[in-house]
Amino acid sequence: MDFSLNDDQRAFVASARAFAEGAMAPHAARWDAESIFPREVLREAGELGFMGMYTPESAGGLGMGRLDASLIVEELAKGCTATAAFLTIHNMATSMIGKYCGAGAVEAWCPDLVAGSKLASYCLTEPGAGSDAASLRTTATRDGDDYLVNGSKVFISGAGATDVLVVMLRTGGPGPKGISALLIPADADGITYGKKEEKMGWNAQPTRMISFDNVRVPVANRLGEEGQGFAIAMEGLDGGRINIATCSVGTAQQALEEATAYVQERRQFDTAIADFQATQFKLADMLTELVAARQMVRLAASKLDMGDSQASTYCAMAKRFATDAGFNICNDALQLFGGYGYIKEYPMERHVRDTRVHQILEGTNEIMRVIVSRRMLMEGALEVIK
């Protein structure tokens, strides 16, 4: 297997790295401290194509594969984890609109979404339906040529600051076959937003509850067919797991680079702490875990691009391993900084806070283990890894 990047991929990486270093990293600490949602920077990312990476070309996107997009996201996460993570959520929602909406909705929304001049939120989680997404209860009831939407969604990234919502709703009976997806303008009559949640990390993007009270949505705004919503959501989650795993890898890379530089400068007992064997062993383990996580993520992304029958299992494995490893690497990097790592003047504590939630969202890591183990028990470990 050839692990080297081709010329196009190296160009993507170079472009994303320059953008992260110039437009994101210098401001990340302030965005975090002041809870600033950097819409203008996201618009600039749109000018580079980063807001429609895997949106179909027919809808104005780049039509990239998930591996190529992952290379870009890794570099962006080094600049600001929270902003890169929101960018991936926007990409997921925009690609769903471009792939599954009718021509009218695509023409009305995708040009601005791909450009980053308008932003999208993805709405799946509910107060009583987190890991068990198939039990969601927010409804869309048919009323002539419209649906009437009632219910609520929680933990929605960008809510209150975005322009359009891709919402999973119950249009039929219980279970996954009764779920459909609708495109809903974020300012539609009957939508209200809860307070901005005070979070441990990801402070550069707002998170709110969204409530729907008889929100009228044209049937023409449906994504795909009625009852297709759960399949669309699960397809999105496979890519979302690659995205969030990639954000962990990129942030861990940044933390490791900063820690490696620090231990060579910091002296104790008249010796650079990099010269202590305990430090060297820790750095070696951190790098080994990072490389393993990166390769697992890229393998899963390539499986998704190829339409491999085991792609979902690989995405679950990659998400579990990379988000655990990424958080641990950031936490170990903070430890190498000692007391300075705990102070906000240095970025280590932000890296730790921002990567912690990656072990929870896009399906908790416990749910990732359920997905992998069920597939193993159904088909056998050898079949899974072929």
Nearest to 199 by CA among 353, 344, 27, 31: 353
What does DSSP say about strands 207-218 and 271-272: parallel, antiparallel, or unpaired?
Answer: unpaired
Residues 6+ apart with CB under 8 A from 146: 216, 217, 218, 219
Q: Tally the residues of the chain.
A: 386
Q: Residue 22: helix, strand or coil by DSSP? A: helix
For residue 217, count CB atoms less than 10 angstroms from its CB and return exposed for 0-12, middle for 13-18, buried for 19 or more: buried
Given the residues 74, 258, 362, 366, the one annotated as active site:
362
CA dihedral 162, 166, 167, 171 (to 10 degrees): 150
Nearest to 64 by CA among 84, 85, 47, 50: 50
CB 106 within 8 A of CB 65: no
Residue with tokens 């297997």: 1
218 strand-pairing partners: 146
120 strand-pairing partners: 164
Query: Is 362 among the residues known to form the active site?
Result: yes
Radius of gyration from C-alpha coordinates of the chain: 21
Nearest to 140 by CA among 169, 176, 167: 169
> Which residues are marked as active site?
362
